[in-house]
A and B are shown apart, each in its own frame.
Chain A
Amino acid sequence: MKVVEKDKIVSGMLRDELSRSEEMLVGLRKSLADLPRGALSERKKRYKEKAYSYFSLKYRDGEKVVNQHVSAEQVPALRKQLDQRKKIEKEMKSYQKRIAYLSKILKSGRG
């Protein structure tokens, strides 16, 4: 007999955990919508003994790869947002794994 069949409480907790994970994934996905995507790159140029930095945000828009100029003042805030996006994506992956794992356990318990 499978564990989830054995105990009503345990199987209920697994189902609750699955639904909590799914809800959290929806919330995390929503958080991503407000954040920029892509990678920030810096190009350095020298002109008459002086060094200049040019920043751009490179991201994919369908088939196209877009290189969007970013002013130096925007860079700290943008870096923070891109970092936040990475953290959210990492957290989403861990929830996706958990959802797959829990779905498998609950499915096998029913089978």
Chain B
Amino acid sequence: MWIPISNRGAFPPEVLELLQAFHRAGFFDEAMLVGSWVMPLYQQAFGIPYILRTLDIDFAVRFAARERGEAADLESVITGLGYLPVMMQSGIRKFTRENFSIEFIAHRKGGSDDGVVNVRKWNVTAVPLPFVDILLDFPFLADFGDFQVRAPVPEAYLVQKLLTARRRQVESKKDKDLDQCAVIAGRLDEDRLTQVFRSLKLSVKNSKALREACEAIGFPPQRLGLK
């Protein structure tokens, strides 16, 4: 899905600069913008209003143990913009410039407990998190004319957030996720929602978690196909 976006003022200059650099590096050919910075895109593309932003930006990358093909050295792209690489205590390498930080996430397969994955293809490290594949499998392309940004469709973002809400260890992050979900839930496309839900193979435990999260935001679980 491709959506033209005319208002690039949706992003502050530092974010715009970063997205343009990632586009030039070919990053958005397969990876995507995730986290709360997708909300300005949702506002422009789907009319979903949400004004709260964080000072960190997340990107989701595909990770394969044996990666083929060469891609850009994203670390050089980022440090070329004046960001500093910082090794965190967890072992993840983040980047920071004037209080604004960049982080990468990847899909974590069930049972895996890797703390950090090394995404050699892009020369970055990523935090493996559950259900990131839902985001990566249902993208749309926001077209700003001279550059494009890949992001998950709102329905995939909603389902991923609802599924992970109960796993959030920090209560405030869970509240923020559910707050975003409540706003997105008001502007859903039923066909896309059905497609996303049908792609899932949920365990009883995850179905229960999804139902609880739906109830927390007053969203009928039946709309997701849950009985």
Contacts and interface: CB of A to CB of B under 8 A. Distances in A.
A94 B98 CA distance: 7
A9 interface: yes
A15 B172 CA distance: 8
Given A9-B175, A12-B175, A94-B99, A17 B87 contact: no
> Which bracket fits the contact residues of B?
20 to 34
A4 to B, nearest CB: 11
Contact of B97 (A8, A27, A30, A91): A91
Given A13-B54, A91-B96, A27 B87 contact: yes
Nearest to B180: A9
A15 B171 CA distance: 11
Nearest to A29: B86
A39 B35 CA distance: 41
B101 interface: yes
Nearest to A30: B87
A28 B89 CA distance: 10
A23 B54 CA distance: 15
B94 interface: yes
Query: Interface majority SS on A: helix, strand, loop or mixed?
Result: helix
A10 interface: yes
A28 B96 contact: yes
Interface in A52-102: 84, 87-88, 91, 94-95, 98
> Which bracket fits the contact residues of A?
20 to 34
Contacts of B176: 9, 12-13, 16
A32 to B, nearest CB: 11
Contacts of B84: 28, 31, 84, 87-88, 91
Contact of B101 (A8, A9, A24): A24
Contacts of A10: 52
B99 A95 contact: yes
Interface of A: 8-13, 15-17, 20-21, 23-24, 26-28, 30-31, 84, 87-88, 91, 94-95, 98
Interface of B: 52, 54-56, 84, 86-89, 94, 96-99, 101, 170-173, 175-176, 179
Ranked nearest first, the 5 interchain pairs of A and B with the lowest CB-CB distance are A12-B172, A27-B86, A27-B88, A9-B179, A12-B175
